[in-house]
Structure 1
Amino acid sequence: MPFQRIEAERLSQSVVKQIEQLILRGILRPGERLPSERELSERLGVSRPSLREAVAELQSRGLLATRAGAGIYVADVLGSAFSPALIQLFAAHEEAVFDYIAFRRDLESIAAERAAVHGSDTDLKVIDAILGKMEVAHRKRNPADEAELDAEFHLAIIEASHNVILLHMMRSTFDLLREGVFFNRQQMFKNRTTRDLLLDHHRAINEGIQARDAAAAKAAVVEHLDYVEEELTLLNKAAKNEDIARLRYAHETER
């Protein structure tokens, strides 16, 4: 008969599974510090030896990492998504920027569609709250804060889609965006007219999701990223024109 004896699961394995799920679902993020051993054992209701055994297993599998004198952290599991050589290649070639926007347009439009359908009421509150912060930053004319909140807004939508593969894939690419590998996001927020339009786009995306109108949410994301692509094309053209103008000016002053 195909039956096997059921054995009680060790407490350490229960701890391993819980931490695995928190990392998988994006609740515990790369680089995030875990509570102290005493606090974590109390929260989980397990002994310190059981906790240490679980942590040791997760460390051996590369999910947790120890920093000397600083505690236990979630490992930078997203760092393996792109090699340093590939990151340098992205930064050196303009076509990577537009391929990246196309990639985002395809996947984020699907994420917005899913968020409108599968997002919980709390998911939608988070998205709406971030939009509120964007509006405050907009009034304060703070391009750096507005650009950072822009990334948080899109990631909140991806989280609300409840697809863990999509979540980790997009988080890794947003980390590169924050580092300026693809383009400097703050450039787009320096122009008042552009900033107004970008905020309107985010309002439209939010309205579609809050209304649970999947088609409207998806269309709003596509419109937004089409506009980003157009603006970056113009910025790149203007930068090239300025380079040529400086060469002319330098030549004229030398004559």
Structure 2
Amino acid sequence: MFNRTLLPQSVAREIQGMIQDGTLKPGEKIPSQREFAQKFGVSRASLREALLTLETLGLIKTEAGRGTFVTAGGTKSEGDMAPWRYSETHSVFDVFQTRLILEGEITALACGRLAATQFEAMEDATNRMEKCWADQDLIANVEADLEFHGTIVAACSNSMLRDLYKTVRDQITETQRQPIPITDPERMRESIGEHRKIMAALRDNDADRARKEMQAHVRNTARCAGLQA
């Protein structure tokens, strides 16, 4: 029995581990939500959130009328992205376009405000992102990506922009997860390189360059998802 206080992300990590170690095999139908919720000692709402995360990352796939299955190979299913889960409120294009504007300005306004410890945190997050991709720990890969971006947001001088970022964080998180199933190793190497270009601009206190590097990074992520933001 797992700790009843586990958050959906922790449950998602446990299920990812079961897929990676072969407890849940490629093509296997996963247990019912009721059974899984009882196994992990969480609510069905928390379990559903965990399953949505895993489906966005391409580790499982739900088939109407049949159930939810581990994808072929037990790893990300290349060439197939999950449906955009926020379609009833905002399109994925709108979210990427908002990221382009919001994160570009946030990054420019973080110039000159990042402490040495924050640069170290960003470097560490980027290194973990790279290692986790190599290990196919997709959940930790995205978490490290979010930490990188979150560190920049925390240093932004405009409190309203920081608050605006928080209000759309769930949608932003989804844009960072959704392209994973169609992200090839070369694109991930480019993304990690883009992180380092952003850090270099911030270290040089070059606000205009930092803005442009972040916007290029967001645009390239959007292109990976098949969009022109």
TM range (shorter): 0.5 to 0.7
In the alignment, structure 1 residue 127 sits paired with structure 2 residue 122:
yes
Structure 1 residue 221, shift from structure 2 partner: 0.6
Structure 1 residue 115, shift from structure 2 partner: 1.4
- Alpha-carbon distance in 1 for matches of 2:167, 2:153: 12
Which among 191, 202, 205 is matched to residue 212 of structure 1? 205
- The answer to whether the 8 A contact 1:143-1:189 is kept is no
Q: Which residue of 1 aligns with 2:62?
A: none
Change in CA separation of 1:211 and 1:183 when aligned onto 2, cut-off 3 Å: closer
Which among 196, 201, 220 is matched to residue 227 of structure 1? 220
- Alpha-carbon distance in 2 for matches of 1:133, 1:183: 16
- The answer to whether the 8 A contact 1:90-1:96 is kept is no
Q: Which residue of 2 aligns with 1:53?
A: none
Structure 1 residue 185, shift from structure 2 partner: 3.1
- Alpha-carbon distance in 2 for matches of 1:184, 1:164: 26
Letter in 2 for 1:165: M
Aligned ranges 1:1-255 → 2 under 5 Å: 91-92=86-87, 96-178=91-173, 180=174, 184-185=177-178, 187=180, 190-233=183-226
Change in CA separation of 1:155 and 1:141 when aligned onto 2, cut-off 3 Å: same
Q: Deviations over 1:43-71 (max 9, x none)?
A: xxxxxxxxxxxxxxxxxxxxxxxxxxxxx
Query: Identical aligned pairs, as a percentage?
Result: 19
Q: Deviations over 1:9-63 (max 9, x none)?
A: xxxxxxxxxxxxxxxxxxxxxx9xxxxxxxxxxxxxxxxxxxxxxxxxxxxxxxx
Letter in 2 for 1:219: K
Letter in 2 for 1:106: I
TM-score under structure 1 length normalisation: 0.49
Number of residues paired by the alignment? Answer: 146
Structure 2: give runs of 5+ residues left out of the alignment: 1-6, 8-83
Letter in 2 for 1:174: R
- Alpha-carbon distance in 2 for matches of 1:105, 1:116: 17
- Alpha-carbon distance in 2 for matches of 1:114, 1:193: 30
Larger RCO (CA under 8 A, 6+ residues apart) = 2
Structure 1: give runs of 5+ residues left out of the alignment: 1-30, 32-88, 235-255
Change in CA separation of 1:206 and 1:138 when aligned onto 2, cut-off 3 Å: farther
Structure 1 residue 218, shift from structure 2 partner: 1.1
Q: Deviations over 1:48-96 (max 9, x none)?
A: xxxxxxxxxxxxxxxxxxxxxxxxxxxxxxxxxxxxxxxxx97226962
Change in CA separation of 1:150 and 1:98 when aligned onto 2, cut-off 3 Å: same
| Partner secondary structure for residue 205 of structure 2 | coil
Select the structure of larger CA radius of gyration: 1
Change in CA separation of 1:134 and 1:183 when aligned onto 2, cut-off 3 Å: closer
- Alpha-carbon distance in 2 for matches of 1:224, 1:188: 18
Q: Which residue of 2 aligns with 1:252?
A: none
Pick which of 158-167 and 134-143 moved more: 134-143
Structure 1 residue 189, shift from structure 2 partner: 6.8
- Alpha-carbon distance in 1 for matches of 2:147, 2:154: 10
Structure 1 residue 220, shift from structure 2 partner: 0.7
Larger fraction in helix:
1
| Partner secondary structure for residue 118 of structure 1 | coil
Change in CA separation of 1:202 and 1:94 when aligned onto 2, cut-off 3 Å: farther
| Partner secondary structure for residue 218 of structure 2 | helix
- Alpha-carbon distance in 2 for matches of 1:189, 1:161: 32
| Partner secondary structure for residue 119 of structure 1 | coil
| CA RMSD across the alignment | 3.0
- Alpha-carbon distance in 2 for matches of 1:218, 1:128: 18
